[in-house]
Amino acid sequence: MASALSDEFVLPKNKEIGASKHADPERTCTYLCGNSLGPLSKRSKTLVEQELHAWGISGVSGHFDTHPYGRGWVAFCDHITPLFADIVGAKEKEVACMGTLTANLHLMMESFYKPTSERYKILCEAKAFPSDQYAFASQALAHGLDPAKAIIEMAPREGEYTLREQDILDKIAQEGSSIALVIFSGVQYYTGQWFPMQAITQGSSSPGTTIFTFFRGCICGWDLAHAVGNVPLSLHDWGVDFAVWCTYKYLNAGPGSIAGLYVHEKWNETELPKFAGWWGHDPATRFAMPPKFSPIEGAQGFQQSNPSILASCLTIRLSSKRSLELTGALEKLLLQSKYFVPVEEAAAPVGVIGDERQPDVIRLAPAPLFNTLKDCEEGALGLERAFDSIA
């Protein structure tokens, strides 16, 4: 397994999370909550300080070449888009560094969810992250549709925790001609299920069987909040139409930091930004302030505002292979536990940070950048000790 970059992160000590009673107060805790908020990287501090310094000594000219660290703010996201493209498996012009996840989701739905009287449904997983549920329902309402009729939520079979690939594909085939948009999370925030993204994308966009020759396919979008920086992605090759993500989970960019958006290049000609802003305008003439909007080709045409530099300057790197290995190791350890049952107490008092979701779920997520096999062991052990103490 490639080694973790744990030393490059600042992790809370046990005493800082109130775990001094049962764990060594001076030791760092076992942080298995990078899926909710990735911990601070040591480099972030320097980068933020550099930007504050640049702002102080350059003022407005920091936008351009006089930026003391060579990262003029006007082109700041040009440093980030190649990293995004790499992480999601896309071309550079298919990604943009902008806004926030939910706002980007609305922008994408505004362009790609175009209900007609025959084809108007949204297919998604049941118990999607609430922000997504609110976005889907409000988009349906904005088109004068009843969310109860327009939104199809797929739940796992009775007694099962995750959705079966075949059930999803069958549903798409059955309801296909009435579905306008198929939108799932890449990795489900509550169950941790990594959906078969390629199969769902291809099932959405192709007829599948000869019975459905009339069926020209639905748009397929993905919310990658829990997938980006966590699992390997090839959005372009899979033919994904659009995707959105945030950077404060597995990408460790800090609370509320800048988000990302992807649009497949096959849409460049037809899907032009409807809600335009100056940052989506061709940079060659942006500062000539022309009255007519001339969008950048591709995803970056959807940019609206100049990005927050403090929210954008934090480090991002990636190793997805580690993620699969660590998750496999933790799963094995937890399945071996004598307490392999759902329970309600979280493990923070013993120095393990995960999080809990009512009524009976504890989320523990090894993140590839900073977690180690030892963290998985500590996590499983911590959970056992917590259960021992309440058994």
Ligand X SMILES: *Cc1c(COP(=O)(O)O)cnc(C)c1O
Q: Which stretches of the chain bind ligand X, using CB under 6 A? A: 100-102, 129, 131-132, 185, 189, 223, 225-226, 246
Instruction: Select 132 or 271, whichever has its Cβ closest to ligand X.
Output: 132
Residues 322 and 3: their CA atoms lie apart, in Å, by 8
Instruction: Select 100 or 162, whichever has its Cβ closest to ligand X.
Output: 100
Minimum CB separation of residue 80 from ligand X in Å reads 17
Minimum CB separation of residue 256 from ligand X in Å reads 7
Minimum CB separation of residue 332 from ligand X in Å reads 25
Instruction: Select 34 or 351, whichever has its Cβ closest to ligand X.
Output: 34
Instruction: Select 129 or 238, whichever has its Cβ closest to ligand X.
Output: 129
Instruction: Select 102 or 202, whichever has its Cβ closest to ligand X.
Output: 102
Minimum CB separation of residue 194 from ligand X in Å reads 13
Rg of the Cα atoms in the chain: 22
Instruction: Select 67 or 112, whichever has its Cβ closest to ligand X.
Output: 112
Instruction: Select 28 or 201, whichever has its Cβ closest to ligand X.
Output: 201
Minimum CB separation of residue 188 from ligand X in Å reads 8
Minimum CB separation of residue 111 from ligand X in Å reads 18
Instruction: Select 219 or 224, whichever has its Cβ closest to ligand X.
Output: 224
Residues 220 and 51: their CA atoms lie apart, in Å, by 38
Minimum CB separation of residue 128 from ligand X in Å reads 7
Minimum CB separation of residue 49 from ligand X in Å reads 25
